[in-house]
Structure 1
Amino acid sequence: MSSPRIAIIIYSMYGHIAKLAESVKEGVIAAGGSAKIYQIPETLPDEILAKMHAPPKPDYPVISVDQLAEFDGFLFGIPTRYGNFPAQWKVSLVAGARRRHVVAGDLITPRQAFWDATGQLWATGALAGKFAAVFVSTGTPGGGQEATIMNSLSTLVHHGIVYVPLGYSRTFTQLSTLTEIHGGASLLFFLPSFFLYRGLI
């Protein structure tokens, strides 16, 4: 039996997801799979990316949606945008070839987002039964990691892709540590306790 072929598919504007993808690839190979990192097409023009101070893209091949059916599974690397996919993944600005949008004072011609280009694969069930997991990066602790993953499930389910969560079986210690404060919910508990201790409330 051959090792499963895994496509690690990412979008990485500032390099954080790309760095995670390299570690993810090492893990897939260590577990006996074969993995290759791909990136999805950029939808923003170079002049807008320059205004955002985005560095050059990593040197990964750009995947076409036509290649997806070749793989046994996927690991999607998604930077969080307000607890969801960024536009390059999911929000197609193309309602017609002639439609144009103003971004940061400039007129741009939008391009089709990755998932929005998979309609034919969905119609034929080409991705049904394949497996996928998601890894994310946010700008802050508790900045929408779980929300981004949950919001990605709708897309996976529509394609019949089986979501594989990280789970606790091998990561319980890392996921359940209470050695540091993490996320906003922790502060909701910590701050009232702090103020009570100080006699401020």
Structure 2
Amino acid sequence: MDTGSKLADKPVNESIPKRKNYCKVPKKIHKAEREKLKRDQLNDLFFQLGYALDSARQNNGKASVLSDAARLLRDLIAHVGSLRKENSALLSESQYVTVEKNELQDENGGLQAEIQRLKSELLRERIDGDPASSSSPSLPPPVFVLPLQQLEELPSPPVAKPPSSSHVVSRPHARYPTPCDSWPQEFLLSRNQKRPPRTAWREGEDQSLA
């Protein structure tokens, strides 16, 4: 009876105490960890970007890195635009050079044809001006057959005499003495001994004249 009275004393609309929700706490923890991982990844990316822009920079703040990256991108876009303009100019110049090359080739072909035509005209003029060249191939000269008597009566062609060598002075050749040309010394000495003195020969000659 006491227990029933106690339950009857409690109000009907009294709320029943709720049990704690243990399942939501791990979700909050995972969300914080995910946000922390994202921040770490962003910090690493900003650090790499700052190092790529300028490795010796002192201020590695995110705002400074972003401003430098934007400035670099603007410069790169401008450089790309200038390169595109230069490329288009080079393409137009290449097309102009190609057209000029084709024109020069056509002109060269025309000049070659004109040269060939002039050569053919010059050859035709030479053939027309020289009848001997336009005639049939040259025939061998005619051969005349004469009897033997007529051949003997024909005068012999004059024979050119060799020029006289009276006015030609030949160079004298050196002549060296041979053993036959030299007189023995003994013979000369004996001859000088047999020859009388010059005074006796002169006296005998005077007596013969007297």
TM-score normalised by the chain length of structure 1: 0.19
Over alpha carbons, which structure has the higher Rg? Answer: 2
Structure number with the higher strand fraction is 1
Q: Which has the higher contact order (CA 8 A, sep 6+)?
A: 1
TM-score normalised by the chain length of structure 2: 0.19
Structure number with the higher helix fraction is 2
